[in-house]
Structure 1
């Protein structure tokens, strides 16, 4: 029988892995239904920190380029903003995870 002296026993430390929370992009698509004013109103109401100038810029980008990223960040709020914009009648691209 062997005796271990205090402080000499080896303890295995679990390997720690930091998992990154998934991010996503919220993209509004151009359509022939929504007006610029409605898009701007929805963006300002739903997207945190959105102001009228930025919303108008995005509305023009949506019209001219066919789509615009209106928010990017953690997946959970992205899902919420995507659902809220969709329920307001905006045409949405599927969430893009990154």
Structure 2
């Protein structure tokens, strides 16, 4: 059986909005906590080893912040990378706070 299309009522495509909102993924904070067994040297060396673009001065400043304030945010960025850095620091013996969104 053949179907006939009627030319009397054309189909109109929905209008596209000219406004688009880009949704970005949330960033996550990697936080090192103070403890009674890691040395300043070990904490600073771990930060230098695992956190990209970390400098010696920045690692030392963050280590002092961990000691004086009880914690320091050592990196903020995408979840997958945050999970990697968090795991590497934890496996090196640092005491880590759970990842939290920034």
Asked if TM exceeds 0.5, the reply is yes
Please show how residues 1-98 of structure 1 align to structure 2 within 5 Å: 2-3=6-7, 9-12=11-14, 18-98=22-102
> 3-state DSSP class of the match of 1:34?
coil
Segments of structure 2 that go 5 or more residues without pairing to the other structure are none
Task: Give the Cα separation in 2 of the matches to 1:17 and 1:4.
Answer: 37
Task: Give the Cα separation in 2 of the matches to 1:36 and 1:27.
Answer: 16
TM-score (norm 1): 0.86
Task: Give the Cα separation in 1 of the matches to 2:29 and 2:85.
Answer: 10
Deviation at 1:36, TM superposition (A): 0.5
Task: Give the Cα separation in 2 of the matches to 1:13 and 1:66.
Answer: 55
Over alpha carbons, which structure has the higher Rg?
2
Task: Give the Cα separation in 2 of the matches to 1:44 and 1:13.
Answer: 53
TM-score (norm 2): 0.83
RMSD: 2.3
Task: Give the Cα separation in 1 of the matches to 2:70 and 2:101.
Answer: 20
> 3-state DSSP class of the match of 2:30?
strand
